[in-house]
Amino acid sequence: MSKGSENASPGFLVWRLSTKWRVAVDRAVAPLGLTHAQYALVASLYDMQRHGERPSQRRLADHTGLEPLYVSKLARALEGAGLLERTRDPRDPRAVQLALTEPGQERTRQAIEVVQGLLEQLLAPLGGLDSARTREFRRELATLLDVPLDPFTTDGEPDKEQS
């Protein structure tokens, strides 16, 4: 454990790790013309397409945890770069469906390979991607991600105005 991290709060450590990861991914995918947020979007879209889904921007926003407006902005930039296409959903004219283009799929495959190498490097201290410690770490992270955090509620109950 790095000096100074031993007594740090869990929140601070989560923030530091997420910042470290974001910066590392940004640097790793920059030669491919992507940012970390764009990578998160195209990698998620790539996986969804592989499973036969052509998600709406809203569905992709829900999947990635990004704000819908930000997903729309990222999608427009990626469309301008020729990496994805945006089309109206024939079942719901208000919804926009997303799909990677052929060049988008190729670029995403390259980015996934780069980020997988980075992930192996990050997880080496836990024994690598397939270790028991990493599987437990993944379960712990998933547990934390499943906790709803709403600044306007406590104990799952909505705040009530007191008169």
Query: Which residues lie across from 89 on neighbouring strands?
Result: 92
- Provide the residue count of the chain: 163
Sorted by sequence, the CB contacts under 8 Å of residue 5 that are 6+ apart come out as 13, 16
pLDDT value, residue 6 = 78
Instruction: Give the model confidence (pLDDT) of 136-146 as tens digits.
Output: 999 999 999 88
Q: Is the pLDDT of residue 150 over 80?
A: no
Q: Which position has the token pair 């020729």?
A: 82
Predicted TM-score (pTM) of the model is 0.83
Pairing of strands 153-154, 84-89: unpaired
Looking at residue 46, its amino acid is Y
Between the alpha carbon of residue 41 and those of residues 7, 18, 82, 109, 131, the distances in Å are 35, 17, 15, 13, 27
pLDDT of 55 > 90? The answer is yes
**Is pLDDT of 42 > 60?**
yes
Strand residues in 43-138 grouped as ranges (E): 84-89, 92-100
